[in-house]
Structure 1
């Protein structure tokens, strides 16, 4: 399990995993697309790491090539509020705030009322993608959370196949945003 000292490694994994993904997806929906895209993406990954440590668990593969951030329970804390304000200015931009809030409300509307584990973000360094690093890490985390209801959202057909192969089922899909959004659960 990752700790505060692993922040640079986790942020590097996630940034490298998403920097060249330019199709419409959840990450690109949030990250303001301008000449500071790399810097903004890195700030987003730092935010996600910090929130993961605050509200859940972060797992990192043995070879430090993959990681998964889980949120165990969403709750408002002073730290979360400060991190979200920082995210607004460093990543999203004021002009994109309302579309990001709309997206967040859409996602929340399909989450269950009872407690669940949110697989919030998973990434594997490009050079390790397709080598089994992600599958192994996901299986280890599913064992850690055995018996818990788990939800996630994904946007790409490749990720959809990956999660279905690992036991997740689609319970809803929507095209209300500029990209497809698939809601999956693991029980």
Structure 2
């Protein structure tokens, strides 16, 4: 009945990139970053690879044991101020598609609305294979980290990229964390925050 979850390593990189690419090809935000279908098919995997490499190096990637879903998490320290000097978005743009300013822009816009001042777990991305969506795999992946957050008294944060995902996160205890991020001439993203719940001990 439970979903077996393990921590991914470098050997899982290609699997994680494939999962994210498949899960986000038709996502509204990915469609904004790469408006042309053929361009998106060609360059979207490279963006997912860049994100995967960042989190494999600095965070944690969880995957279901059967390789059908993954979640990318970063532990954000309390002193993270998001001062706008981060060169990460520009480096990702340069590596993936130097002519596409939206790759850099979305990194800067999400960084600008990211809460600072309190340590928290940041769910950067979660991807479920298209033919396995709706089975509760994403909920299981998120829930395993939220249980730890509750034990350790840590909040969690994410940006929902669709109304469907926003409703899922609301069921898991996330609430809107400030103004909706409206991408220029594009879709909305919802910054969402979850306070830790009181941990019950048996």
Choose which of 135, 140, 144 in structure 1 pairs with 2:144.
Answer: 140
Q: How far has the Cα of 1:65 moved from its partner?
A: 0.7
**Residue correspondence of structure 1 range 61-76 to structure 2 within 5 A:** 61-73=64-76
Shift of 1:11: 1.0
Are positions 1:30 and 2:33 aligned together? yes
TM-score normalised to structure 2 length: 0.76
Counterpart check, 1:125 vs 2:129 = yes
- Give the total of aligned pairs: 177
TM, length-normalised to structure 1: 0.81
TM-superposed CA distance for 1:34, in Å, is 5.8
Query: Which one has the bigger helix percentage?
Result: 1
- Please give the residue correspondences for 1:1-187 in structure 2 after superposition, counting only pairs within 5 Å: 1-19=7-25, 21=26, 24-25=28-29, 27-31=30-34, 33=36, 35-73=38-76, 85=91, 87-89=92-94, 91-94=96-99, 96-97=100-101, 99-114=102-117, 115-146=119-150, 147-174=153-180, 176-177=182-183, 178-187=186-195
Aligned-residue CA RMSD in angstroms? Answer: 2.6
In structure 2, do the counterparts of structure 1 residues 88 and 124 end up closer, same or farther at CA, with 3 Å as the change threshold? same
For 2:55 and 2:32, locate their aligned partners in 1 and report how far apart those are by CA, in whole Å. Answer: 20
Q: Distance in 2 between matches of 1:88 and 1:130?
A: 32
Consecutive unaligned residues in structure 1, runs of 5 or more: none
What secondary structure, in the 3-state scheme, does the structure 2 residue paired with 1:72 have?
A: strand
Which has the greater radius of gyration?
A: 2
